[in-house]
Amino acid sequence: MRTSIATVCISGSLEEKMRAAAEVGFDGVEIFEQDLMTSPLSPEQVVDLARELGITLDLYQPFRDLEGVSEEVFAENLYRLEEKFRLMQRLDMDLILICSNVGTATDWNDDVAIDQLGRAADLGAKYGIRLAYEALAWGRYVNTYEHAWSLVEQADRPNLGVCLDSFHILSRRSDPSAFSTIPAEKIFFLQLADAPEMMMDLLSWSRHYRNFPGEGSFDLVNFMVELTRAGYTGPVSLEIFNDVFRQTDVVRTTRDALRSLVWLADATCAALPAAGIDPQSEANTMALEALEPVAAPTGWDYAEIKAEETEEIATLLTQLGFTDRGMHRTKDVRLFASGDARIVLNELPLGVSGSVIAGLGFQLPDPKTSADRARHLQIPPAHRANRADEMVLRGVLAPDGTEVFFAPEQNGSAPGWLTEFGDPEQPVGEHELVTGLDHVNLAQPWQHFDEAILFYTAALGLGTQPPAEVPSPQGLVRSQVMRTEDGTIRLPLNMVPQVLDVAPTHNQGTERVPTGSHDQMRRSAYPQHLAFATDDIVSLARNAAAAGLRFLPVPDNYYEDLQARFRLDEKFMDTLREHHLLYDRDDEGEFLHFYTRTIGTVFFEVVERRTGYNGYGAPNAPVRMAAQYAIERY
Ligand X SMILES: O=C(O)c1ccc(O)c(O)c1
Q: Which residues are annotated as a binding site?
A: 134, 165, 191, 239, 439, 529, 605
Site for ligand X in 140-179 (CB under 6 A): 165
3-state helix vs strand vs coil in the chain, percent to 5: 35, 25, 40
Which of ligand X, Mg ion, none does 519 bind, CB closer than 5 to 8 A by kind?
none
Taking the complex as a whole, how short is the minimal distance between the CB of residue 64 and ligand X, in angstroms? Answer: 7
Residue 165 binds Mg ion, judged by CB under 5 A: yes
Taking the complex as a whole, how short is the minimal distance between the CB of residue 7 and ligand X, in angstroms? Answer: 12
In the three-class reduction of DSSP (H, G, I as helix; E, B as strand; rest coil), residue 501 is classed as coil
Give the residue ranges of the annotated binding site for Mg(2+): 439, 529, 605
**Nearer of residues 133 and 300 to Mg ion, judged by Cβ:** 133
Using alpha carbons only, what angle is made at residue 607 by residues 606 and 612, rounded to the nearest 5 degrees? 165
Taking the complex as a whole, how short is the minimal distance between the CB of residue 40 and ligand X, in angstroms? Answer: 24
Which of ligand X, Mg ion, none does 30 bind, CB closer than 5 to 8 A by kind?
none
**Nearer of residues 97 and 540 to ligand X, judged by Cβ:** 97
Site for ligand X in 14-73 (CB under 6 A): 61-62
Q: What CA–CA distance (Å, rounded) separates 439 from 152?
A: 53
C-alpha distances out from residue 537 to 108, 607, 618, Å: 68, 7, 18
Chain centroid to CA 155: how far?
A: 41
Residue 554, classified by CB atoms within 10 Å of its CB into exposed (0-12), middle (13-18) or buried (19+), is buried
One character per residue 321-350, x = contact with Mg ion (rule: CB under 5 A)? ------------------------------
Residue of minimal Cβ distance to ligand X: 62
Taking the complex as a whole, how short is the minimal distance between the CB of residue 133 and ligand X, in angstroms? Answer: 11
The binder of ligand X chosen from 50, 97, 262, 335 (CB under 6 A): 97
Which of Mg ion, ligand X, none does 226 bind, CB closer than 5 to 8 A by kind?
none
Q: What CA–CA distance (Å, rounded) separates 235 from 28?
A: 9
**Nearer of residues 9 and 606 to ligand X, judged by Cβ:** 9
The string over 579-615, giving b where at least 16 C-beta atoms fall within 10 Å of a residue's C-beta and e elsewhere, is bbbbbbbeeeebbbbbbbbbbbbbbbbbbbbeeebeb
Which of ligand X, Mg ion, none does 584 bind, CB closer than 5 to 8 A by kind?
none
Which of ligand X, Mg ion, none does 206 bind, CB closer than 5 to 8 A by kind?
ligand X
Contact 541, 580 (CB under 8 A): yes
One character per residue 112-141, x = contact with ligand X (rule: CB under 6 A)? ----------------------x-x-----
The binder of ligand X chosen from 94, 239, 301, 451 (CB under 6 A): 239
C-alpha distances out from residue 361 to 49, 62, 181, 264, 623, Å: 43, 46, 48, 25, 30
Site size toward Mg ion (CB under 5 A) is 3
Using alpha carbons only, what angle is made at residue 175 by residues 171 and 179, rounded to the nearest 5 degrees? 115
Taking the complex as a whole, how short is the minimal distance between the CB of residue 133 and Mg ion, in angstroms? Answer: 11
DSSP letters for 235-250: -EEE---BTTTTTS-H
Which are the contacts of 561, defined by CB distance < 8 A and separation ≥ 6?
Answer: none
Which are the contacts of 45, defined by CB distance < 8 A and separation ≥ 6?
Answer: none
Residues of this chain that bind Mg ion (CB under 5 A)? 165, 191, 239
Residues of this chain that bind ligand X (CB under 6 A)? 61-62, 97, 99, 134, 136, 165, 191, 206-207, 239
